[in-house]
């Protein structure tokens, strides 16, 4: 029995979106505007008005969580009538269902296996081995990224047109052909195939397309701005007959181009679907007006957008705070102090979050929180000292410091690869146990007694010689611990491994290592640094009670918090230099959308900050405030005391002038920025 109250508590625009049933509909739903409520109410209305049976409605989301939430909400409105909604789910789950019915059309059996990421990597590794491809130079993960990109564009191997500017595509395409044939031979498909195969079936078999195009009288799509080409194509094919497709999304929150999302699907919706009705949901039920005004003013600088004006249902609220700090460490102290002194009395830790542009930025906050005993969690990532590349670096330093550290020896003896495999390591362990030796001493003995294969002997001997050399660097040459790690990374081949290996994650790993070098600067010697790391990693990571949240802005999409801190708004970091270099104006606009997403996560307080200087890779770097800060409306901002200092008599600097950091010195970037805002 349908609950007839589903139209109550809807504002005018929401009600219009629910009641507009016939023809294509684009709902431009601003942050916090109640889009899920609209989608579920719309489903209820279609069924109540007897426009379609539940199994004639296709409702698509991106995540299982979103699908479950929609299912539950529809269930509350419709009761038992919701049971027939058999086509409500994610893109992948619905395509898998379709594909099992028509698997033979793509040379599969209906009981095909859907392989996961680990299986994909294993399969690619085997293919690379057979084709003599060095996976140290071209990682399986990167190969799969390119293959997935092709699948998102709708290309089988025979349809791929090589981008001549990409030196890797020529190598990867033959691997794609073998990979795809292997999947067929194994009666398997990957996640990309679920949609690609389904689209190809609909394109190549008009009879099958007709069945589903006729059946789906209404199609509803959530987060449409995040769709890629193949997803958009699939929806287009299924809506061909009835044209009743309703897509909900926010072009201002399109931040996933790096994983294939195409904002033009949203911007050109009315060009693809004739007679499109556009309804804007501009009433925001999440944030205060000051927060919305700042976010709206910022995003208005983007040219490629549909456009809307968010209005708050809540009171005006606090001004958005804009803080400047002397350096990154002071920024972490300032934020922790604000939480400690002002916020924790009023807000729970669970409702406070720190949103960063890049994951390496969490390090300084983690250091500060550990020092003062403030509980925290990293959402969508690993805590700094638990990241693989950081643990590798620390293991090298520990073994240099303490030759009996067998755990560190085991971790790095073959990292990077030195032909010291499992069998060799097993023999070293046995000899160590028999003679009560450390693994390092046992390694020396196994070489002396020639109990090792020639290739492994060369690799192990090189490693042992390097260890001795590094210990001499530390104790005899008195090289400091920061320089020592740089030498280790260089001479061990670890840096080269990360730089040369074409892997989608290696850039983040290198950034994290640079941040580690910065962290080491705070300690007088290697011993004190290693002690700090030991204490940091030994703290119980699962404290009971509440915790401060830390995550990237990308990971925060769809979430909301009472208080949001947005640190590190500096040129090069945010907007990120790489994004602008690779995508130009489009990259800048996506970075601005990311800023918009970050600000609109806040319900009651938003605090933006930047630093005058960053300690980066062992050096002080002159920071300049992000261009986004200039786009924030003054009347909605509250600035900290740094903005009150008189700099009119301070000599200007050349842009690249070197300078020494002293207690009261302001950086050139800071001086230029301060003069500009005065």
Active-site residues: which are they? 35-36, 222-223, 253, 601
Work out the end-to-end distance of the chain between its first and last CA atoms, rounded to an integer number of angstroms.
63
What residues form DSSP beta bridges with 637? 320
The answer for residues whose C-beta is within 8 angstroms of residue 59's C-beta and 6 or more apart is 39, 43, 70, 85, 87, 88, 89, 219, 220, 221, 222
What whole-number distance in Å separates Cα of residue 461 and Cα of residue 403? 15
- The answer to whether 361 and 395 have CB atoms below 8 angstroms apart is no
Distance CA 589, CA 595 (A): 10
Order of all β-strands in the sheet with 218-221: 88-90, 57-61, 218-221, 245-249, 25-29, 277-281
Neighbours of 548 (CB within 10 A): 23
| Residue 514 exposed, middle or buried by CB count within 10 Å (0-12, 13-18, 19+) | middle
3-state SS record for 177-222: HHHHHHHHHCCEECHHHHHHHHHHHHHHCHHHHHHHHHHCCEEEEC
Instruction: Report the DSSP pairing between strands 619-622 and 245-249.
Output: unpaired
Pairing state between β 602-616 and 619-622: antiparallel
**Sign of dihedral through CA atoms 175, 181, 186, 192?**
positive
| Cα of 220 vs its chain's centroid, Å | 26
> How many angstroms separate the CA atoms of 109 and 186, rounded?
10
Residue indicated by tokens 């971790």: 411
Indicate the SS3 state at residue 611.
Answer: strand
Residue 520: both structure tokens together: 């080491």
The CA distance from 211 to 231, in Å, is 19
Distance CA 362, CA 567 (A): 10
């Amino acid at each position: 029995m349908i609950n007839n109250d589903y139209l109550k508590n809807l504002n005018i625009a929401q009600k219009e979106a629910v009641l507009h049933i016939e023809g294509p509909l684009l709902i431009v739903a601003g942050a916090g505007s109640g889009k899920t409520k609209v989608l579920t109410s719309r489903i209820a209305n279609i069924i109540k008005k007897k426009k379609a049976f539940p199994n004639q409605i296709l409702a698509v989301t991106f995540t299982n969580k979103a699908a479950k939430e929609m299912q539950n909400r529809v269930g509350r409105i419709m009761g038992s009538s919701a049971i027939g909604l058999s086509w409500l789910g994610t893109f992948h789950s619905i395509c898998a269902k379709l594909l099992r019915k028509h698997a033979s059309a793509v040379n599969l059996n209906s009981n095909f296996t859907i392989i996961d990421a680990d299986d994909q990597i294993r399969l690619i590794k085997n293919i690379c081995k057979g084709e003599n491809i060095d996976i140290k130079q071209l990682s399986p993960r990167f190969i799969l990224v390119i293959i997935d990109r092709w699948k998102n564009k709708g290309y089988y191997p025979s349809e791929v047109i090589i981008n001549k500017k990409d030196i890797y595509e020529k190598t990867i395409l033959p691997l794609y052909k073998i990979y795809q044939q292997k999947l067929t031979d194994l009666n398997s498909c990957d996640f990309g195939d679920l949609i690609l195969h389904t689209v190809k079936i609909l394109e190549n078999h008009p009879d099958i397309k007709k069945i589903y195009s006729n059946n789906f009288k209404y199609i509803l799509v959530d987060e449409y701005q995040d769709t890629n080409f193949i997803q958009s194509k699939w929806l287009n094919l299924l809506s061909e007959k009835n044209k009743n497709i309703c897509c909900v999304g926010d072009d201002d929150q399109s931040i996933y181009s790096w994983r294939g999302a195409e904002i033009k699907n949203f911007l050109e919706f009315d060009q693809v679907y004739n007679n499109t009705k556009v309804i804007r949901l501009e009433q925001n039920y999440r944030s205060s007006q000051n927060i919305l005004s700042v976010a709206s003013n910022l995003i208005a600088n983007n040219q490629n957008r549909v456009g809307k004006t968010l209005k708050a249902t809540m009171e005006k609220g606090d001004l958005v705070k804009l803080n400047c700090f002397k350096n990154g460490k002071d920024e972490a102290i300032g934020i922790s102090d604000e939480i400690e002194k002002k916020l924790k009395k009023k807000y729970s830790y669970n409702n406070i979050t720190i949103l960063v542009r890049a994951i390496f930025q969490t390090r300084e906050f983690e250091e500060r929180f550990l020092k003062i005993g403030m509980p925290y969690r990293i959402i969508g990532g690993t805590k700094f000292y638990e990241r693989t590349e950081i643990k590798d670096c620390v293991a090298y330093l520990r073994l240099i410091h303490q030759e009996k550290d067998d755990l560190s020896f085991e971790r790095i003896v073959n990292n990077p690869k030195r032909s010291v495999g499992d069998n060799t390591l097993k023999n070293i362990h046995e000899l160590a146990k028999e003679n009560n030796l450390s693994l390092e001493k046992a390694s020396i003995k196994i070489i002396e007694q020639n109990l090792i294969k020639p290739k492994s002997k060369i690799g192990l001997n090189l490693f042992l010689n390097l260890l001795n050399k590094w210990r001499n660097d530390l104790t005899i040459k008195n090289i400091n611990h920061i320089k020592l790690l740089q030498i280790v990374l260089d001479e061990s081949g670890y840096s080269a491994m990360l730089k040369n290996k074409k892997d989608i994650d290696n850039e983040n790993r290198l950034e994290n290592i640079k941040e580690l070098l910065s962290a080491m600067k705070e300690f007088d010697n290697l011993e004190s640094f290693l002690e700090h790391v030991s204490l940091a990693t030994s703290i119980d990571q699962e404290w009971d009670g509440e915790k401060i949240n830390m995550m990237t802005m990308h990971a925060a999409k769809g979430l909301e918090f009472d208080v949001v801190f947005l640190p590190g708004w500096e040129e090069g970091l945010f907007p990120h230099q790489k994004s602008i270099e690779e995508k130009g104006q489009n990259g800048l606009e996506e970075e601005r959308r990311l800023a918009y997403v970050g600000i609109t996560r806040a319900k009651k307080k938003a605090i933006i900050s930047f630093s005058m200087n960053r300690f980066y890779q062992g050096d002080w770097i002159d920071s300049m405030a992000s261009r986004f800060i200039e786009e924030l409306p003054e009347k909605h901002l509250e600035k900290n005391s740094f903005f009150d200092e008189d700099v009119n008599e301070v000599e200007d600097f050349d842009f690249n002038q070197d300078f020494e950091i002293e207690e009261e010195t302001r950086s050139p970037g800071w001086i230029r920025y301060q003069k500009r805002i005065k």
